[in-house]
Amino acid sequence: MTLFYRFANKNDANLIFNWSNDPLVREMSFDRRQISWRDHIEWFSQKLKDENAMILIFQKDNVDVGVVRIELKEKAVIGISIASEFRGKKFASEMLLKGCEAFWKKDKIPIFAYIKKDNVASIKSFQKAGFAYRRDTIINGFESVELISEQCL
């Protein structure tokens, strides 16, 4: 299953807004509140300008499948969302691998993922993409795991 990606642009604001507010995405997020359009536009506009943020839109046959976002602050952190109609189709690990490869073209540092412990499907997808368990942690009161990918090293 070959997926292609492109860098997000201002025309993707509505697409990412809808994916971000998907009920399952909100449930698995560390902040379950719905995102307002105003907050999203402010956040999205900043991320598009931020040299330390990479937002990739993945497509199959020119249809948008999902998004991978990697942000470099104190460390590189990755997140993924897949459109509801494409979940369970084994796209996540390919998206994660390609997202990491795109990031590593610029920065050769480990990438971290933080996932709620009860999000078993996501943990498995990250592990299939080469992420290794690092430790248990608590984020915003949720039992979580920290995973790391060091394939760039």
- DSSP designation for 91: -
Which residue would you say has higher pLDDT here, 27 or 149? 149
Q: Spell 59-83 as b/e; 16+ CB within 10 A means b.
A: ebeeebbbbbbbbbeeebebbbbbb
CA dihedral 68, 137, 119, 5 (to 10 degrees): 10
Residue ranges and CATH numbers for the domains of the chain are 4-149 (3.40.630.30)
Residue range 102-136, pLDDT digits in tens: 999 999 999 999 999 999 999 999 999 999 999 99
Summarised one tens digit per residue, pLDDT across range 86-97 is 999 999 999 999
Model pLDDT, residue 153? 55
What does the pLDDT read at residue 152? Answer: 66
The three-state DSSP-derived secondary structure of 9-74 is CHHHHHHHHHHHCCHHHHHHCCCCCCCCHHHHHHHHHHHHHCCCEEEEEEEECCEEEEEEEEEECC
- Checking if the pLDDT of 1 tops 70, the result is no
pLDDT digits (tens, 9 = 90+) for 46-86: 999 999 999 999 999 999 999 999 999 999 999 999 999 99
| C-alpha distance from residue 112 to each of 4, 67, 122, 130, 131 (Å) | 23, 17, 14, 11, 8
Q: Strand 111-116 vs strand 4-7: parallel, antiparallel, or unpaired?
A: unpaired
The CA distance from 85 to 8, in Å, is 20
Q: What is the pLDDT of residue 69?
A: 97
CA dihedral sign, ordered 40, 103, 133, 130: positive
pLDDT attached to residue 44: 96
